[in-house]
Amino acid sequence: MIGGGEGAFIGAVHRIAAQIDNQYELVCGAFSSDAEKSRRSGQALGISNDRVYASYQELFERENLLPPAERVEVISIVTPNHLHFQPAKLALENGYHVILDKPMTFSLEEAIELKQIAGKSGRSFCLTHTYTGYPMIKEARHFIRSGQLGTIKKIYVEYPQGWLSTFEEGKDNKQAAWRTDPQKSGIAGAMGDIGTHAFNLAEYVSNLQVSKLCADINTVVEGRRLDDDGTVLLKFSNGASGMLLATQVAAGEENNLRIRVYGENGGIEWQQSDANTLQVKWLNKPAEVWRTGSAYLSSYAQHNTRTPAGHPEGYLEAFANLYRNFALTVKAGLEGRVPEEEWLDFPGAEEGVRGMAFIEHVIRSGQSAEKWTDFNI
Amino acid sequence: MIGGGEGAFIGAVHRIAAQIDNQYELVCGAFSSDAEKSRRSGQALGISNDRVYASYQELFERENLLPPAERVEVISIVTPNHLHFQPAKLALENGYHVILDKPMTFSLEEAIELKQIAGKSGRSFCLTHTYTGYPMIKEARHFIRSGQLGTIKKIYVEYPQGWLSTFEEGKDNKQAAWRTDPQKSGIAGAMGDIGTHAFNLAEYVSNLQVSKLCADINTVVEGRRLDDDGTVLLKFSNGASGMLLATQVAAGEENNLRIRVYGENGGIEWQQSDANTLQVKWLNKPAEVWRTGSAYLSSYAQHNTRTPAGHPEGYLEAFANLYRNFALTVKAGLEGRVPEEEWLDFPGAEEGVRGMAFIEHVIRSGQSAEKWTDFNI
Amino acid sequence: MIGGGEGAFIGAVHRIAAQIDNQYELVCGAFSSDAEKSRRSGQALGISNDRVYASYQELFERENLLPPAERVEVISIVTPNHLHFQPAKLALENGYHVILDKPMTFSLEEAIELKQIAGKSGRSFCLTHTYTGYPMIKEARHFIRSGQLGTIKKIYVEYPQGWLSTFEEGKDNKQAAWRTDPQKSGIAGAMGDIGTHAFNLAEYVSNLQVSKLCADINTVVEGRRLDDDGTVLLKFSNGASGMLLATQVAAGEENNLRIRVYGENGGIEWQQSDANTLQVKWLNKPAEVWRTGSAYLSSYAQHNTRTPAGHPEGYLEAFANLYRNFALTVKAGLEGRVPEEEWLDFPGAEEGVRGMAFIEHVIRSGQSAEKWTDFNI
Amino acid sequence: MIGGGEGAFIGAVHRIAAQIDNQYELVCGAFSSDAEKSRRSGQALGISNDRVYASYQELFERENLLPPAERVEVISIVTPNHLHFQPAKLALENGYHVILDKPMTFSLEEAIELKQIAGKSGRSFCLTHTYTGYPMIKEARHFIRSGQLGTIKKIYVEYPQGWLSTFEEGKDNKQAAWRTDPQKSGIAGAMGDIGTHAFNLAEYVSNLQVSKLCADINTVVEGRRLDDDGTVLLKFSNGASGMLLATQVAAGEENNLRIRVYGENGGIEWQQSDANTLQVKWLNKPAEVWRTGSAYLSSYAQHNTRTPAGHPEGYLEAFANLYRNFALTVKAGLEGRVPEEEWLDFPGAEEGVRGMAFIEHVIRSGQSAEKWTDFNI
């Protein structure tokens, strides 16, 4: 693991996600760019001292020297955005599989390059767009792909948070500080942090791609250096239209991701606060309530659920699904087996590049006086 | 009553709204432009034959001849949009108070003229933006006005329906036919029919006015002659931003009006499907569930509720609140009393003109390549 | 109308229910046993002075003298329980149709006698068990009757309120005072006031009858003279079992009536706070959400709904359905037509007697050391 | 681990619960009474062959021979009920800490004996009443203990499932087979399987103890050998009353555990399907929505949550909380530290004995013609 030391949020989430299904063992790490902090973090995590490194460069140098059987196999990178590209590049080029937190990189250029590196490396690459790990999101995607809703017409995705409603970056809030710092986050704040999740979810569930967009991007809190709010009109490859809303200044909201997709015959609705339910609505029939753990669901939902209906799973299990599918895929590769289609269903470099393209386009559109900005990548 | 004969939907709703609180008696009507149909409708409603008229012109001519004490006092106009202006003008000019279904008129010009006529007439005028009649909507407005949420930053209003997901106007659906006919509806379909409700609600609840907008307006169903879908980015007078979504092609949705408003300290959320509840969210405190019929609510909510907490009221009662407040205001005028502030809280000509301006601006923006269209009126 | 003067709650509800569908005109009343209060109430309601009476006895004497065409046709009785029997008896014996608030009478004996009087009178009789007026409750009943859930196995009905959590009868709360007074309410408090509603709902929806019961009846608030709380184990005629819960001391609850019925293949759930929805659950299929105003519902639901799907109706409309169906039935009788099955679907004397029997049995069981009390009537 | 081999449900849950927080390593096991099956299961779990045992007896014999530092420290027992007592006794007597699935034993006598053994052993003992691991359940308990709701008056707990609505034990359903087999489950079916959970939850949240009860216990499905349904009237030590409902024949229900507790000033409500929310209701104030991950919660909720508000945790995390708190307690003991009060907050032998007493009393009451059965232990 690179990053995720003391005080980090997402690093701990990654570790739990890796542990739940007993497919990973945490064997080494460079947990902080501060060598002493890295050491303390490694110790707290029970890692052998000789495999806690002072930097990611050292990690690769030293791990490479170990006999292959002892060497780490998969590298998780959970650093702020400006520290995604270099360690991911090094990892892939040194033959490690990579799990990388989103957004993929600091800039679109880096993302495109990293995708090429990943492609050439022959190694597996996963970008942790957590929400696509929810079983009912997978069900929604595969249900829509089945065509039962007819041609898709409307896609609404929204991601309201409220935790940046005040100037948190002035209050020693580490999570707020790097996310609102252009040197660490890149050109976008909320749009990179949560907008990319919403964008990824919309494309994943609808099986469509955004073709143009029109963005209203705002910095609501005074003194903030990056956007903390935005609403985006969307056009999709098949002519469907939609809307993406991502804000971190909806005071009183937690993390209320929600998606609705409508086709000619009906629609689906899912929201994270009721993650084990998929609402399926029909034009002239009663709406249905599809629930995780039910025998009537597709193999995609069932494969990504651990418990019977009525035993709720949540965010950590969604995250763990990415880790598990990645592990199953990597293992299949190591053992020369063809991975199942359900295992391969995790976000990768292509999704990463599109996410970075979203950031570039949405910020550019936000600054433009023209209504539509074509989405080209 | 003018309009609302056999087969009409909203006419029956108006009649129930008028009856609930026993403040009105239906004494005369021109229920259809088809004299025979008007007669049959009047009979079915138990109205004396000599006061069922073949046309609205006849209604005014004949009612004017009656002694003032027997003459109708309030005229309800529930015709399609192209038949709003003339009867409303005649009614006001002949000294009747007017309740008019929304949108106010066929065009903005008519609306501006009608507002002037209403102003000069000395008569009361109500435009039935039903949703502002809900007690928890009134509570939301007055709560926000109290300043407890701080400066308002975000306003999201959405109104998804699904009933026009197919080409209903080709299937002998009277409600669909006139709403999608530019000769009867005006320049807008969904935007006039439900977009104006959403717009009115956003301004009413937020106590703000839209200052510019950017619209994506679509005709999703093939062959349809007016828009059936749209999403609009909004800017408000105080710098707040927001989004308005109105669609009639979200297959599987009923009539799912919802509004969320966020200020610096928290937000409110209301949706029609749970109309007796107002969710009040706070930045660092538990959200609260405010319920109609509760003693802790303001006089605005309490005045507009008939039953104790836990006895749900709905759409018809919201509608009836407009009628009741209008009656109380008219009666106070007749009796030379000053109406209470709560009674005056019904939508009037100003709201009607703004609604028509919304239609003009939103359709114009939909056709524009520029992002923002200033909202001037 | 008898009762329902100043300060009354249910009288106003009855009047609204009667007005909504324009099937009734309030023409006379004895609104209070205090003649002056009756006069004032009648005046406030706009009733001609000569038809506002000082007592119900006077009402019958004087109305009987009017020519049949001018005479009142239907008598609504909305007095406390101890004043149900006499006016209802007089009304029926004098040839008036009767709408009576629940529970039917002060004692079971009175109820049995009143049922006989009603039977002999040839007049129609309605007992206002409001909740059976909800369209989705009617749907549930008729769906269960269709057999699609298979043999019914479990019936849970609950009616928690919190408004009597403190000693309200000591605080000049008129509603609390008579309900907790054995001279006015009869032998039961909560069990008569809301327990009978729950009992009626359980039998109505399940299409079954209670055959024995075991009750835990409590007076939770110190000083109270009647029960304010109870839970009852139930056995039904077909061998099904269930539970009825009615309490007025669940502090923080409003009026949260809920029923669940399960058969071999699935179950239904309805709660008043979401009255326009019927949840239909299946053993091995997704649950369904049935909604008022939808074309897929039975004629029973559709007949009792005024608005399209997504326009919520509530308590007053449920109440109005009783009034409307009663009016349709009475009119059909007057005109020699056979009423439709949907019109006859309102609670009458049989339900009233069973409700009073419930009160007698549940109170007796509450005092018994034996587990089961047979329900005989 | 003892039990939890191929085809088991709860064994896998225990393993995930143990792994999530990285506090346990699975080092040995007797996963089945079938030696070959145990071996295969151990292999699949990646356990060294020499520590996969053919029986629990062998496990203790062989582990005892290992040097203390290599020996297993905590034994998880996840067998059917008839195989709880012996391995737990052996484990404790041989110096191991024990985590045991509920209900504690096959009979009350065994439970009492096991409690004594645990007491004497000086080892820690945890009984996995999962639901008390939910952070909002802990919040509810500690909120009620704070006295803010006043004296508790009513406790309703319900646990409806539907999965045994048909004769599953005749269909090669392993989970159904042992649960309905008196040789493996004991004297109770549903009451032991889920009734004990509901009972434990009611006592845990209310901070009260059941003092007498009156049960209606049923076997609804023909041919079944144990109860599959029951409703129980409850009296509590402080005079409060309540109801417990547990059924496995509510066709269409999943695992819908719900608890409501009311005091003089208000009440709380929690249900597993919305596990991250605690509803707090007040007599004369708006209800509040308390959410996991919020800073306003007590240390009990916060200690048992891993993610910020809006990132739902579920059943597995609740289960993991038991494991984590047990580990923290055991470690503190090993290191001579005093465990924090929050760590000690897991169910133990006392709860186990009360659960077994519940089974004995509820079954006895179900067979009794007397209403109340005193709850003595």
Find all residues with CB under 8 Å of C10, minimum gap 6, and list them.
C4, C78, C101
Euclidean distance between CA atoms B49 and B69, whole angstroms = 19
Euclidean distance between CA atoms B235 and A37, whole angstroms = 46
**What are D193-221's pLDDT values in tens digits?**
999 999 999 999 999 999 999 999 999 99
Segment 163-192 of chain D within 8 Å of chain C by CB: 165-166
Amino acid (1-letter code) at residue B114:
L
Q: How confident is the model at residue C6 (pLDDT cuts 50, 70, 90)?
A: confident
Tokens at residue A284, please?
Answer: 């002239």
Question: Closest residue of A to B153, CA-based?
Answer: A220
Topology (CATH) of C10-130:
Rossmann fold (3.40.50)
CA gyration radius, chain C: 20
Amino acid (1-letter code) at residue A355:
G
State the smallest CA–CA distance between residue B364 and chain D in angstroms.
40
Tell which residue, A28, A37, A111, A118, has the closest CA to residue A65: A28
Mean pLDDT by 10 residues, chain A (377 residues): 89 95 95 94 94 96 96 96 97 98 96 98 97 98 98 98 97 92 97 98 98 98 98 98 98 97 98 98 97 98 97 98 98 96 97 98 98 95
Tokens at residue A44, please?
Answer: 């707290």
What is the count of residue pairs from B and C with beta carbons less than 8 Å apart? 106
Tokens at residue B359, please?
Answer: 């239609």
| DSSP structure class, residue B295 | T
Taking a C-beta distance cutoff of 8 angstroms, is the pair A32, A2 a contact?
no
The whole-angstrom distance between residue D264's C-alpha and the CA centroid of its chain comes to 29
What is the count of residue pairs from C and D with beta carbons less than 8 Å apart? 128
Residue B13: the pLDDT is 95
Q: Where in chain D is the domain with CATH 3.30.360.10?
A: 131-367
A369 burial (CB, 10 Å; 0-12 / 13-18 / 19+) is exposed
Q: Scanning the structure block, which residue is given the tokens 């629940």?
A: C102
Name the 3-class secondary structure at D218.
strand
User: What are the CA-CA distances from residue B177 to residues B105, B180, B353 (Å)?
Assistant: 18, 6, 25
Q: Where in chain C is the domain with CATH 3.40.50.720?
A: 10-130
State the smallest CA–CA distance between residue B104 and chain A in angstroms.
29
Tell which residue, D331, D344, D273, D267, has the closest CA to residue D304: D344
Residue C8: the pLDDT is 80
Taking a C-beta distance cutoff of 8 angstroms, is the pair B32, B102 a contact?
no
Q: Could D286 and B289 be called an inter-chain contact, meaning their C-beta atoms sit closer than 8 Å?
A: yes
Taking a C-beta distance cutoff of 8 angstroms, is the pair C15, C4 a contact?
yes
Find all residues with CB under 8 Å of A348, minimum gap 6, and list them.
A118, A124, A125, A126, A127
In CATH, which superfamily holds the domain spanning B135-305+349-367? Dihydrodipicolinate Reductase; domain 2 (3.30.360.10)
Topology (CATH) of C134-307+347-367:
Dihydrodipicolinate Reductase; domain 2 (3.30.360)
Tell which residue, D365, D193, D154, D366, has the closest CA to residue D375: D365
Tokens at residue B87, please?
Answer: 């009867």
Tell which residue, D104, D105, D112, has the closest CA to residue D129: D104
- ipTM strictly over 0.90? yes
What does the pLDDT average to over C167-181?
Answer: 94
Burial B172-189 (b: 16+ CB within 10 A, else e): ebebbebbbbeebbbbbb
Q: Scanning the structure block, which residue is given the tokens 């959590």?
A: C165
State the smallest CA–CA distance between residue B290 and chain D in angstroms.
5
Q: Could C247 and D371 be called an inter-chain contact, meaning their C-beta atoms sit closer than 8 Å?
A: no
Q: Could C247 and D370 be called an inter-chain contact, meaning their C-beta atoms sit closer than 8 Å?
A: no
Residue A217: the pLDDT is 98
Q: Smallest Cβ distance to A218: which of B149, B241, B260?
A: B241
A335 burial (CB, 10 Å; 0-12 / 13-18 / 19+) is exposed
Name the 3-class secondary structure at B79.
coil
Find all residues with CB under 8 Å of C132, minimum gap 6, and list them.
C138, C141, C200, C201, C204, C322, C346, C347
Per DSSP, which regions of chain A are E strands?
Answer: 74-77, 97-100, 125-127, 152-160, 210-218, 229-236, 241-247, 258-263, 266-271, 277-282, 287-291, 373-374
Amino acid (1-letter code) at residue B231:
T
State the smallest CA–CA distance between residue D15 and chain C in angstroms.
29
What does the pLDDT average to over D75-83?
Answer: 96
Q: Scanning the structure block, which residue is given the tokens 């007597």?
A: D93
Euclidean distance between CA atoms D88 and D94, whole angstroms = 10
Domain A134-305+348-367: CATH architecture, name and number where available: 2-Layer Sandwich (3.30)
Q: Which chain D residues are Cβ-neighbours of A47 within 8 angstroms? A: none
Euclidean distance between CA atoms B292 and B313, whole angstroms = 9
Euclidean distance between CA atoms D113 and D110, whole angstroms = 5
Task: Name the β-bridge partners of C210.
Answer: C236
Phi, psi (rounded to 5 degrees) for B100: -125, 135
Q: Scanning the structure block, which residue is given the tokens 């009611």?
A: D202
Q: Smallest Cβ distance to D19: which of A20, A273, A276?
A: A20
Name the 3-class secondary structure at B50.
helix
- B334 in reach of chain D (CB within 8 A): no
Residue A7: the pLDDT is 78
Percent of chain C with pLDDT over 90: 98
Q: Which chain A residues are Cβ-neighbours of C295 within 8 angstroms? A: 284
Length of chain C: 377
Tokens at residue B333, please?
Answer: 């005028």
Mind listing the pLDDT tens digit of every residue in chain B (377 residues)?
999 998 788 999 999 999 999 999 999 999 998 999 999 999 999 999 999 999 999 999 999 999 999 999 999 999 999 999 999 999 999 999 999 999 999 999 999 999 999 999 999 999 999 999 999 999 999 999 999 999 999 999 999 999 999 999 999 898 999 999 999 999 999 999 999 999 999 999 999 999 999 999 999 999 999 999 999 999 999 999 999 999 999 999 999 999 999 999 999 999 999 999 999 999 999 999 999 999 999 999 999 999 999 999 999 999 999 999 999 999 999 999 999 999 999 999 999 999 999 999 999 999 999 999 999 98
Q: Scanning the structure block, which residue is given the tokens 């681990």?
A: D1
Taking a C-beta distance cutoff of 8 angstroms, is the pair D186, D359 a contact?
yes
**What are D297-307's pLDDT values in tens digits?**
999 999 999 99
CA gyration radius, chain D: 20
Q: Smallest Cβ distance to A296: which of C280, C285, C288?
A: C285
Taking a C-beta distance cutoff of 8 angstroms, is the pair D147, D365 a contact?
no
Residue B8: the pLDDT is 80
Amino acid (1-letter code) at residue B172:
D
Q: DSSP for C243-265?
A: EEEEES--TT-----EEEEEESS
Domain D131-367: CATH architecture, name and number where available: 2-Layer Sandwich (3.30)
Residue D172: the pLDDT is 87
For β-strands D241-247 and D277-282, DSSP reports them as unpaired
Per DSSP, which regions of A81-228 are E strands?
Answer: 97-100, 125-127, 152-160, 210-218
Tell which residue, C190, C345, C198, C308, has the closest CA to residue C260: C198
Q: How confident is the model at residue C172 (pLDDT cuts 50, 70, 90)?
A: confident
What does the pLDDT average to over C107-112?
Answer: 97
Neighbours of C209 (CB within 10 A): 13
Q: Smallest Cβ distance to C296: which of A284, A289, A295?
A: A284
pLDDT at D377 over 90: no
- B254 in reach of chain C (CB within 8 A): yes
**What are D150-190's pLDDT values in tens digits?**
999 999 999 999 999 999 999 989 899 999 999 999 999 99
Euclidean distance between CA atoms C256 and C157, whole angstroms = 11
Euclidean distance between CA atoms D126 and D322, whole angstroms = 8
B210 burial (CB, 10 Å; 0-12 / 13-18 / 19+) is buried
What does the pLDDT average to over C113-138?
Answer: 98
Question: Closest residue of A to B167, CA-based?
Answer: A264
Instruction: Answer left, alpha or beta for residue B138, where phi above 0 means left and psi between -120 and 50 means alpha.
Output: alpha
Amino acid (1-letter code) at residue C131:
Y
